[in-house]
Amino acid sequence: MTIVFSKTLRKIRISTGIGTEHILTDEICKDVIEKTIIPKFKKGEYYLGIEKGITELIAKWQKPKKKITFYSTLFD
């Protein structure tokens, strides 16, 4: 995963790679940019914006998958 931003151009992008794109989709990355990173950037808090964005992406990456533990209930 790569996060690139230009303060001068006012652009930011999160690029995922093989192995991450199925969990950290473009939609999720866009959401993190718009709701977490950009609000901090608007306050001039660039480091904090990147830090919070990365923390949120890690949390989404590590979020446990839902598991079905009672298979018999599927066929009732």
- Tell me: the pLDDT tens digits for 4-57? 999 999 999 999 988 888 889 999 999 999 999 999 999 999 999 999 999 999
CATH number reported for the structural domain that contains residue 15 in this entry: 3.10.310.50
- The pLDDT value given to residue 62: 87
DSSP label at residue 24: S
**DSSP code, position 33:** I
Does the pTM exceed 0.75? yes
Question: Helix (H) and strand (E) counts for the chain?
Answer: 3, 2
Residue 73 has pLDDT above 60, yes or no: no
- pLDDT at residue 76 greater than cutoff 70: no
Instruction: Quote the number of domains for the chain.
Output: 1
Return the amino acid letter for 27: E
The whole-number pLDDT of residue 19 equals 83
Its domain, for residue 50, covers 2-62
- Give the pLDDT of residue 21: 84
Residue 35 forms part of a structural domain: yes
